[in-house]
Structure 1
Amino acid sequence: MAPRDLDSLRRAALSPSRAHADLPGIGGCIRCRPEDFEVEELPAYGADGQPGHLLLTLRKRAMNSEDALLALSRALKVPRAEIGLAGLKDRDAVTTQWISLPQQALPRLASFSHPAITLGAPSPHSHKLRRGHLGGNRFCVVVRELQLDAGELAARVEAKLDHLGRVGLRNYYGEQRFGAGARNVAPGLASLAGKRRVKGKGDLVVSAGQSALFNLYLATRASRGQIDAVLAGDILQKRATGGLFECE
């Protein structure tokens, strides 16, 4: 990919067009402190009570998920590869997520202590938690330094919600998906094209490339007025059953 094309893709990934750009925003500041952005992971299922692993929550502050799991690995003396999680969570936030530990970690759990990590009570579970095994995420976001009076604030929020209710949400990936300065976009695209093998955090790099392409595709559909159109090759979902099928 030519450098000019790569720069265009980075810009599209980081600054996608907004569906409601003509509506005034509310201003203010988000993420002034970690407590202003809270994430709670919703589990896809509960512990089954069978031996083998432990299912528990991990609450962290101003720390990314991988660093938290490495801290657990060192303290509990279990290999990092044996610790499971359903998804990565934001660094500059207070987040609660589900993880799994091998059962042999149980004796050391009571003495675990870390200034940025709090662990919930463990329950026996038969298998390691895998990526994607979550029901979703619940967010609580604090907006500070608002300059609008209550009436104007409510009116602008209601206008935005009404617009979203009519046209839907363009679910772009946020900048945290791409690394600082979108540095993971280029190696991610190279990996997808089979031109580069990524070691270490390869899944994160590949995900950055996939997400950048998704943002670019979504922005292109929007610019062509095709957001509400159904095109051949689109994956559609039945509302009644949740079943997926390809449009032909």
Structure 2
Amino acid sequence: MSESVNSTSELSLECAYAHGIPIGSALMRTEPEDFVVTEELGFEPTGEGEHAFLIIRKRNTNSEWVARQIAKLVDVKKMDVGFAGMKDRRAVTTQAFTVKITGKSEPDWSELNLNQDGEQIEVISSTYHQRKLKRGELLGNRFNITLRQVDGERSEIEQRLELIRQRGFPNYFGEQRFGFDGNNLLSAAKMFSREMKVKDRAKRGIYLSAVRSYLFNRLLSLRVEADNWQQVIAGDWVWTTEDTRGFTFDNGNPKHVELLGQNRLIVGGPLWGDGRALTQGEALQFEQQISEPEHFWIEGLKAARMDQSRRALQVKVDDLQWHWNDSKKLSIEFSLPSGSYATSLLREICLTIKSG
């Protein structure tokens, strides 16, 4: 793809399965209560400061809309409201919001509460914090997902779940990153080829993120096909479980080999952008299989002054649990780190069909 892209049919959005093709199918999100998400921040609010710190449970509403309601109540700009991550709309989610209230009297937070036409907001608690919550400033999320009308052999599904608990799953970006029918990528292509000017910084960020997610998924899919997505190969960019500062893995370095033997290394795949390649040898060869045919996208990211970064290839879910409510209704519980997608786990089990 050296010039541009005119339709999603030219894109490779399909990703390889790590544990075999899905076993049957199931309905997902028949009710919002079938998709319950609880944010795990990994820290406690300071209890003092110029920002109100709210824990809010919402149903059938999105995070941006809640942020606007908070800004309206306090009479501040929406940019003064912070939250760590976008949460699904058709779900029941619990997350933190901050809002700067310097020089303002604290409102009655119960005025945010809503229960109308299936949309619900409930302020669970309020305190103070010394700074605004930033995107990505969380440890992860806890999921409790119910699949209905599960069509698949129960024993096979449980074997697949056990395999995922033991080996984890590929850290693919979810399809929502790409917009409906991949339209975020089409918009990015028009932006890169100067067919379209994008002045809105938020939209521009969405399009750039879609491109990086697409390229990452392609590389990860390639390594899944090679069955080395959960392994360290020569020249990989890695970091340890204790320190996110990375280094290039050298299988001739005794210290590196020792860390590998202790299972303390995390492999990072590329979020392409400006800067030199961090990988070498075999790992670099895998990345070149993507970067060379996808030159158009990578040059666009560089022109946009996007700094390259790294994202873990594998997600481990040691705490994965499940139980059957009846023969066709399966509940699954697990925690994921910030930035990982529950749908990327579910796709390894069965074909999930969104309901409602």
Give the root-mean-square deviation of aligned CA atoms: 2.6
Structure 1 residues 187, 235: closer, same or farther in 2, change over 3 A?
A: farther
Q: Distance in 1 between matches of 2:34 and 2:162?
A: 25
1:134 equivalent in alignment to 2:128: no
Q: Distance in 2 between matches of 1:75 and 1:179?
A: 31
Structure 1 residues 67, 170: closer, same or farther in 2, change over 3 A?
A: same
Q: Give the residue type in structure 1 aligned to 2:215.
A: L
Q: Distance in 1 between matches of 2:129 and 2:139?
A: 17
Structure 1 residues 189, 172: closer, same or farther in 2, change over 3 A?
A: farther
Q: Distance in 1 between matches of 2:222 and 2:151?
A: 35
- Report how many aligned residue pairs link the two structures: 237
Q: Is contact 2:16-2:222 (8 Å) kept?
A: no
Q: Which residue of 1 aligns with 2:17?
A: 18
Q: Is contact 1:76-1:112 (8 Å) kept?
A: no
Q: Which residue of 2 aligns with 1:145?
A: 149
Question: Which deviates further from its counterpart, 181-190 or 126-135?
Answer: 181-190
Q: Distance in 2 between matches of 1:53 and 1:188?
A: 36
| Higher helix proportion | 1
Structure 1 residues 44, 206: closer, same or farther in 2, change over 3 A?
A: farther
Question: Which deviates further from its counterpart, 70-79 or 159-168?
Answer: 159-168
Structure 1 residues 105, 60: closer, same or farther in 2, change over 3 A?
A: farther
Q: Distance in 1 between matches of 2:57 and 2:121?
A: 6
Q: Unaligned regions of 5+ residues in structure 1, if any?
A: none
Q: Distance in 1 between matches of 2:126 and 2:246?
A: 39
Deviation at 1:119, TM superposition (A): 1.6
1:210 equivalent in alignment to 2:209: no
Name the TM-score, length of structure 2 as normaliser: 0.60
Q: Is contact 1:77-1:105 (8 Å) kept?
A: no
Structure 1 residues 186, 243: closer, same or farther in 2, change over 3 A?
A: same
| Higher strand proportion | 2
1:124 equivalent in alignment to 2:128: yes
1:187-202 equivalences in 2 (<5 Å): 187-188=187-188, 197-202=198-203
Q: Which residue of 2 aligns with 1:56?
A: 54
Q: Which residue of 2 aligns with 1:230?
A: 233
Q: Distance in 2 between matches of 1:82 and 1:164?
A: 40
Q: Give the residue type in structure 2 aligned to 1:123.
A: T
Q: Is contact 1:188-1:207 (8 Å) kept?
A: no
Q: Give the residue type in structure 2 aligned to 1:244.
A: R
Structure 1 residues 119, 200: closer, same or farther in 2, change over 3 A?
A: farther
Q: Distance in 2 between matches of 1:105 and 1:235?
A: 50
Q: Give the residue type in structure 2 aligned to 1:230.
A: I
Deviations 1:108-166 (A, max 9, x none): 42433333221222111111111111110000101112356xxx51x223311343355
Structure 1 residues 224, 67: closer, same or farther in 2, change over 3 A?
A: same
Q: Distance in 1 between matches of 2:129 and 2:216?
A: 35
1:92 equivalent in alignment to 2:94: no
Q: Which residue of 2 aligns with 1:82?
A: 80
Q: Unaligned regions of 5+ residues in structure 2, if any?
A: 249-279, 281-356
Q: Give the residue type in structure 2 aligned to 1:118.
A: E
Q: Distance in 2 between matches of 1:204 and 1:180?
A: 13
Q: Is contact 2:28-2:147 (8 Å) kept?
A: yes
Deviation at 1:74, TM superposition (A): 2.2
Structure 1 residues 229, 49: closer, same or farther in 2, change over 3 A?
A: closer
Structure 1 residues 113, 86: closer, same or farther in 2, change over 3 A?
A: same
1:169 equivalent in alignment to 2:169: yes
DSSP-derived class of the 1:184 partner: helix
DSSP-derived class of the 2:246 partner: strand
Q: Which residue of 2 aligns with 1:111?
A: 111
Q: Which residue of 1 aligns with 2:180?
A: 180
Deviation at 1:90, TM superposition (A): 0.9
Name the TM-score, length of structure 1 as normaliser: 0.83
Q: Distance in 1 between matches of 2:92 and 2:112?
A: 19
